[in-house]
Structure 1
Amino acid sequence: MSGRKVIKSSVIVMLLIIGGKILALVRDALIAEKFGATYVTDIYNFSLGFVYLLTTISYGLTTTFIPLNSDHIENSSSEKRNKFVNNIINLSAFFTIIITVILIVFSKQIIYLFGHGFTANMNIYSQSVEIIRIMLLSLIFVTLQSVVTGVLQSHKRFYEPAAMALASNMVYIIYLVFLTAKYGMKGFAVATVIGFFVQLAINIPGYRKLGYRYRFVMDIKDSDALSMFKLMVPIVISTSLIQLNLFVNRSFANNIYFGAVTVLDYSNKVSTLAYEVFAIGIAMIVYPTLSELAVKKDIAKYRKALVNSINTIMIIMIPAAVAIGILRHPLINVIFRRGAFSLEASNLTSSALLFYCPAMIAYGIRDILNKAFYSIKDAKTPMVNSFTGIVINVIINFALIKYMKVSGLALATTISAIITTMFMMANLNKKLNGMNMKKLFGGFLKISFSSAVMGACIYAVNYICMNEFSSFMKGSIMSIFASFVAGSAVYFICLHLTGIEEYEYVVKAVKNKISM
């Protein structure tokens, strides 16, 4: 694939991801409008969180499937490749169905153990059991989608997987706009299952176009299947622990007050928006480079690529954390404050969002460090680190929840993320016999200074806008728009004056493209 095609593909994929995130915000705004921050949304967010906890298995499935199928593409016949894919589909579906049936049977016990706050009222308890049973049906579609998207990505087809969130969010929005009044939250749980089915369905045409056809093959003793499931274990454990951390927080929130899970969930979604659009994408791009350099044992270039990647993440995430922290009230107002989502719920969400913001920076750096460990064939360190993060988070949760409620849970997550990220960096620095910490620290100081100057500008703009407009919604919209324009200009000027290498490289690359 030529450089021009790579750029074009990357832009289209990024636009599809951003489109999906925009629709996700619209979806969340509609949920807030229709259901508010109540036990109903708590049940939905709790059930969805439990499903996401289990979908980490599918992440491990895709991650380990791609290199094995790529090997079959290069070295095997289409018949053997098709047999391998069908075997993985059937084995994965078989075990997923068994797990789903077991979870549905024991759904009452799941709610009792992890959502104990729902058991105080029998009506709420029965609703939560019913909703989680419906939502668990999503797992079969998630599993099948993981294999099919793995096939597409191993053939360098990224458009369909990138469009999955866009497609499913359209289903949710249609339901919320036209059908909520008639079918309520139970209907939305069904719509969620349909959304996961749609994510699978949009990948099927591309899958078939590549020549794959379904056949019933189930050989658990197949060497490729055994190898793949063995490789999955540390990755699944590591990713599951990250999702488990979020699930543990929801369990704590469930015992504070009705609506607390929703407040925690919405504040977390806003704080991770920039991280999910940019940081995850950068980590995906840098992973093949680090893997190639690790294989070549070119430690000097490996260190340089790693440091540049971390600095690039910080260039995006530090100002994003500062801006979101300052603009938390107008952001929550614009996204959620309408309908059943009250002023009190908006203020509680804004407060939790403030304490989540620093975690954005740690998450971005952590993802790069995780990819770095995977590139040197060390999956154990990220797994142990994730477990350590849960222990630290739970301990701090107990210490803060009494005094700070939901904001305490957010702060505990941030502290845990910062500590574990620092541990990972120290460990990797030791493994590489140094990773140019002086440059990293220097970059951090320069970016932090630029972000602080930008923050002062945004604070002034926000203060003026919120006082000039009598309508909180108009003031919020104007504040966000004016802050983005003025803050971006100030930040980029500061980056240029401080001489950040990665920023200058990007500016130079853009100038070269424009002059072509």
Structure 2
Amino acid sequence: MKENKVLKSSMIVMLFVIIGKILAIVRDSLMFSKFGTTYATDIYVWCFGVVFLFTSLGYGLSTTLIPILTEYIETKDLKERNSFVNNVTNVSMILTVIITGIGILCSYYIVYFFANNLSKDPIIFKQTVKILRIMFLSVLFLTLQGIVAGALQAHKEFSIPAAMAGSASLIYIIYLSLFVDRFGLTGFAITTVLAFFVQFVINVPKFKKLGYRYKIEVDLKNKDLQKLFLLMIPIIISTATMQFNLFINRSFAMSLYEGATSILEAANKVTLLTYEVFAVAVSMIVYPILSTFIVQNNYDEYKKSLVKSINIINLVMIPAALAIVILREPLISVLFLRGKFTISDVKLVSTALIFYSPTMIAYGVRDILNRAFYSAKDTKTPMIYSVVGVVINIILSAILYRYMSVPGLTLSSSISSVVITLMLLIQMNKKFKGIDFNSMIKTVWKISIASIIMGVVVYFIKKIFIMHLAPTFIVNAMILLLCSILGMIFYFYLTNLLKIKESMYLLDVFKQKIAKK
């Protein structure tokens, strides 16, 4: 494995993720423009949150399949690999069909117990149950998507899985642009099912090109299948708890006022902008690489790759979190201020976002740590700490939302995510002795210093614009563009001045590209 493999691969995948994220921004902007911060958006966001709990099935399958299939690739032929993947697919789909059926049948009770505030209006309650039943069909494709995407990543094929989100967003954009006025919220729910189907389908051609062919094979006695499901259970619990945190916060928000869930969701979307573009790309790349090092018993490279990956995450996420807080109102205005989304909505989201921003750093580092544990076939540790995180979030949310409304819910998420990430770091240090966490801490300090100085520069640039110009769409876009460009240039100058290795490498790559041209 060549040095800086993680950086190079991540940058390729990031192109696809960035395209997907741009499309997602357009999708979210259209959604808030068409529905505003109303019960329609609240219903969709809440129902999507219920269904998204079951992404843990696809994620669990993908995550546990990668190290096992990586071992198959190293030691077994295509026929054995194909048989194993078919066995996983068929058994998983039998379970998923049962879960989907139960979810559809129990939708009434799910809404009644977790969004009881809606039962005050029979029409809204009935519509919520209907939307939830439609969207439960998405779970079928989440499972298939997880298996196929996991197989591709085990073969070091990252581009197609990275393109899944973009393809789904295109489906949403087409519906919201052309058909939403005719088919409304019900059509939007059907579009969600179609979007998840498309995410699965785009992986199939590459999957087949690798030699995999579907057959009806079910062997419950297969030892690797049993091992996969045993490993998967803690991952499902761990991943589900992350989504359950969001679900709990949305349910608390549903009891506040009309549009509270929408405000929370808008803040969440902005918070995850950089996280989903960068941190997800790095964690996607690093997981199979770490799995390969474990299979090869190459623990020195494993430790180096882990520290390097965390440093890369922090290099981007720390300044991004600070910049988003400073530029939150221009950013929210450019993204959502149109149609039924108003200035007062911008103010509400802006306040909630202040308390939400630390989560993007914590999520990024936690993703790397979780996958590091998974690659070493330790699924128990992330599960335990994720459950602790849910307990912390529920307790804090139940207290803070009464006094701080939506910002209290975002603050509770930040506190729980930061605490759990620190716990995982401590546990990882105990599990793999010799990891150079001291250098990582020094790097974090350097990144923080550079970020704070950059933040001061960005703040004064924004201040100059606000003092002299009215905050129109064009002005807000200019603020974001100028602050982003000057902020990045100044920040990377400082990180190179402070001799942060990962930043220096990126600058060297950029210089080489310029020299070649």
State the TM bucket, normalised to the shorter chain.
over 0.9
Deviation, structure 1 residue 251:
1.1
* 2:126 is aligned with 1:132: no
Residues 250, 264 of structure 1: 8 Å contact kept: yes
Deviation, structure 1 residue 316:
0.6
Q: What does the per-residue CA deviation read over 1:11-52, in whole Å, with 9 as the maximum and x for residues that have no partner?
A: 553222111111001000000000001111111011111111
Deviation, structure 1 residue 75:
4.8
Q: How does 1:461-500 map to 2 (within 5 A)?
A: 461-500=461-500
Residues 466, 476 of structure 1: 8 Å contact kept: no
Q: Which letter maps to 2:503?
A: Y
1:77–1:504 distance in 2 versus 1, CA, 3 Å: closer
Aligned partner of 1:446 in structure 2 is 446
Residues 309, 368 of structure 1: 8 Å contact kept: yes
Q: Which letter maps to 1:343?
A: I
Moved more, 502-511 or 402-411: 502-511
Moved more, 309-318 or 202-211: 202-211
TM-score by length of 1: 0.93
The DSSP-based 3-state class of the residue aligned with 1:212 is: coil
The DSSP-based 3-state class of the residue aligned with 1:480 is: helix
The DSSP-based 3-state class of the residue aligned with 1:272 is: helix
Aligned partner of 2:506 in structure 1 is 506
- Aligned partners of 1:70, 1:294: CA distance in 2, in Å? 10
Aligned partner of 1:371 in structure 2 is 371
Residues 290, 375 of structure 1: 8 Å contact kept: yes
Deviation, structure 1 residue 122:
0.5
Q: Which letter maps to 2:255?
A: N
Aligned partner of 1:192 in structure 2 is 192
1:304–1:199 distance in 2 versus 1, CA, 3 Å: closer
- Aligned partners of 1:33, 1:467: CA distance in 2, in Å? 28
Aligned partner of 1:414 in structure 2 is 414
Deviation, structure 1 residue 79:
4.2
> Any gaps of 5 or more consecutive residues in structure 1?
none
The DSSP-based 3-state class of the residue aligned with 2:256 is: coil
1:494–1:209 distance in 2 versus 1, CA, 3 Å: closer
TM-score by length of 2: 0.93
The DSSP-based 3-state class of the residue aligned with 2:339 is: coil
The DSSP-based 3-state class of the residue aligned with 1:341 is: coil
Residues 23, 169 of structure 1: 8 Å contact kept: yes
Residues 468, 475 of structure 1: 8 Å contact kept: no
Aligned partner of 2:108 in structure 1 is 108
Deviation, structure 1 residue 67:
3.5
Residues 87, 217 of structure 1: 8 Å contact kept: yes
Q: Which letter maps to 2:383?
A: M
Deviation, structure 1 residue 85:
2.6
Q: What does the per-residue CA deviation read over 1:261-289, in whole Å, with 9 as the maximum and x for residues that have no partner?
A: 11111111111111111112222333345
- Aligned partners of 1:198, 1:299: CA distance in 2, in Å? 38
Residues 154, 288 of structure 2: 8 Å contact kept: no
* 2:45 is aligned with 1:45: yes
Moved more, 488-497 or 301-310: 301-310
The DSSP-based 3-state class of the residue aligned with 1:377 is: coil
Deviation, structure 1 residue 9:
6.8
Deviation, structure 1 residue 127:
0.4
Deviation, structure 1 residue 367:
1.9
- Aligned partners of 1:103, 1:145: CA distance in 2, in Å? 19
The DSSP-based 3-state class of the residue aligned with 2:85 is: helix
- Aligned partners of 1:387, 1:158: CA distance in 2, in Å? 30
* 2:354 is aligned with 1:354: yes
The DSSP-based 3-state class of the residue aligned with 2:214 is: coil
Deviation, structure 1 residue 399:
2.1
CA RMSD of aligned residues (A): 2.5
1:308–1:470 distance in 2 versus 1, CA, 3 Å: same
Aligned partner of 1:225 in structure 2 is 225
Deviation, structure 1 residue 250:
0.9
- Aligned partners of 2:369, 2:482: CA distance in 1, in Å? 35
Deviation, structure 1 residue 190:
0.6
- Aligned partners of 2:240, 2:8: CA distance in 1, in Å? 34
1:465–1:216 distance in 2 versus 1, CA, 3 Å: same
Aligned partner of 2:263 in structure 1 is 263
* 2:279 is aligned with 1:279: yes
Aligned partner of 1:248 in structure 2 is 248
1:124–1:395 distance in 2 versus 1, CA, 3 Å: same
Q: Which letter maps to 1:121?
A: D
Residues 87, 219 of structure 1: 8 Å contact kept: yes
Residues 271, 360 of structure 1: 8 Å contact kept: yes
Deviation, structure 1 residue 210:
3.5
Moved more, 120-129 or 469-478: 469-478
Deviation, structure 1 residue 76:
4.6
Aligned partner of 1:168 in structure 2 is 168
Moved more, 142-151 or 311-320: 142-151
Residues 90, 218 of structure 1: 8 Å contact kept: yes
1:76–1:334 distance in 2 versus 1, CA, 3 Å: same
> Any gaps of 5 or more consecutive residues in structure 2?
none
- Aligned partners of 1:190, 1:184: CA distance in 2, in Å? 10
Aligned partner of 2:121 in structure 1 is 121
Aligned length: 516
Residues 10, 282 of structure 2: 8 Å contact kept: no
Deviation, structure 1 residue 77:
5.0
Q: Which letter maps to 2:103?
A: L
